[in-house]
Each structure stands twice: as structure tokens, then as C-alpha cells.
Amino acid sequence: MRVVIGITGASGAIYAKRLIEFLHKKHTLFVTISKHAKSIFEYETGVNFFDFIKTKDVEYFDNGDLYSPVASGSFKIDACCIVPCSMKTLSSIANGFSDSLISRCADVAIKEKRKLVVVPRETPFSSIHLENMLKLSNLGVYITVASTAFYNKPQTLEDVVDFVVGRILDNLGIDNSLYKRWEGKNSTNVEL
């Protein structure tokens, strides 16, 4: 698959990091990151974003580079994922305000009726945030909130992260076994 990944300045850079780690060998990734997200990535993960992507098979574009191929609907892309998605970027996407490459890529995905997965991170949500999410959901956008489940009995931080990343991959239509799926209360898959 050819996937655009936009990273914005909400907490949860680790989700983007894990998603790229999972996808980069088998899929074609086009990655962009906002100014705030760059510093939050380093603050939260302890890893410099550029050092990280240097070791990954991805094509990187500056968030201000509206001349990049991914900014155009004519460039072939299968899906776009904004992870994590700040309330600011959520608002710009919901209102068609494409002043950055990230919001433009999301806008392109919506207008071309391509798969778009948005991973908001905030709590509590205000009515403004909820209205923006509803607007996008009504357009067919996946609103995959970075909210973990506990029915799969996570043991580590990696388990918690992999649950959310696994659900993002499910939305993208990419096979994964990153988390234990619910198979009923009496399943041997989950110890209750």
C-alpha cells in the first residue's frame, strides 16, 4: 500500500513511531511532521525524529512543502493517516483549511474519497472537538481515538501502544496481529 503518514503535535508520538516501524518494510510510506510534533516526538520518545526516519524506508516531506507530490490528488495514494492528531489539525481538516502539507493531504484524501484515519488525542473533548470529529466521521473518515482497551490484558506499555496501532492498521485494511482480538469470554485467547 502507498500510505501518507502525518504526525502532529498531540501527545502520543509513540503511536506514529510504532506505525512507521510496522509498515516501512512492506509498504510505501510518505511521511510528514509538524513543527510542534518534531519537538514532542523527541520529548516523549527520547529519539530525534530525523535520526529515527533515517533508519526507516520512508520518503520524507517538509510540512510546508505544498509542492510535494502528495499534495496533489493526481498522485497515487491508497490511504492517509494523521497520527497523533492535535485538536488544531483536526479543526483545520474538518474545515478544509489546508495551510500545511498534513492538512492538505487529509483534504486530498477526503476529496478523492480515499481512506483517511485520524487519531485524535485529547481529554476531555470540548463540543468543538466533538463537532469536528462528527463532521469528519459523517464524511467517512475513521476517527480512531488513541484510547486503549483492557479486555486484551495488556502487560506492558508496548501492549497498550500496539492495541491502538493494531486498530489503526485494521482501519487501513492491513493484516496484523499486534494485539489480542476479542473472541468471546470463554476464548483461550484472553484469560479472564
Ligand X SMILES: Cc1cc2nc3c(=O)[nH]c(=O)nc-3n(C[C@H](O)[C@H](O)[C@H](O)COP(=O)(O)O)c2cc1C
Segment lying near ligand X (by CB under 6 A), choices 8-16, 52-60, 162-170, 179-187: 8-16
Beta strands at 115-120 and 79-85: parallel, antiparallel or unpaired: parallel
Rounded Cα–Cα distance for residues 126 and 109 (Å): 26
The answer to the question of residue 91 lying near ligand X (CB under 6 A) is no
Q: Which is nearer to ligand X, 11 or 176 (CB)?
A: 11
Rounded Cα–Cα distance for residues 14 and 20 (Å): 10
Burial class (CB in 10 A: 0-12, 13-18, 19+), 136: buried
Number of residues that bind ligand X (CB under 6 A): 14
Q: Which helix (H) or strand (E) holds 143?
A: strand 142-143
Rounded Cα–Cα distance for residues 16 and 12 (Å): 8
Q: CA nearest 6: which of 74, 123, 107, 75?
A: 107
Q: Which of residues 10-49 bind ligand X (CB under 6 A)?
A: 10-11, 34, 36-37, 40
Selected binder of ligand X within 17, 121, 167, 180 (CB under 6 A): 121
Selected binder of ligand X within 68, 89, 144, 171 (CB under 6 A): 89
> Minimum CB separation from ligand X for residue 92, in Å?
8
User: What residues does 143 pair with on adjacent strands?
Assistant: 118
Q: Which is nearer to ligand X, 75 or 125 (CB)?
A: 125
Residue 188 corresponds to which cell in the numbers above?
483461550
Give yes or no for a contact between 7 and 41, defined as CB atoms under 8 angstroms apart. Answer: yes
> Minimum CB separation from ligand X for residue 163, in Å?
18
Segment lying near ligand X (by CB under 6 A), choices 4-12, 46-54, 71-79, 163-171: 4-12
The answer to the question of residue 87 lying near ligand X (CB under 6 A) is yes
> Minimum CB separation from ligand X for residue 38, in Å?
9
Which amino acid appears at position 48 of this protein? N
Binding mask 43-82 for ligand X (x = CB under 6 A): ----------------------------------------
Contact positions vs ligand X (CB under 6 A): 8-11, 34, 36-37, 40, 86-89, 121-122
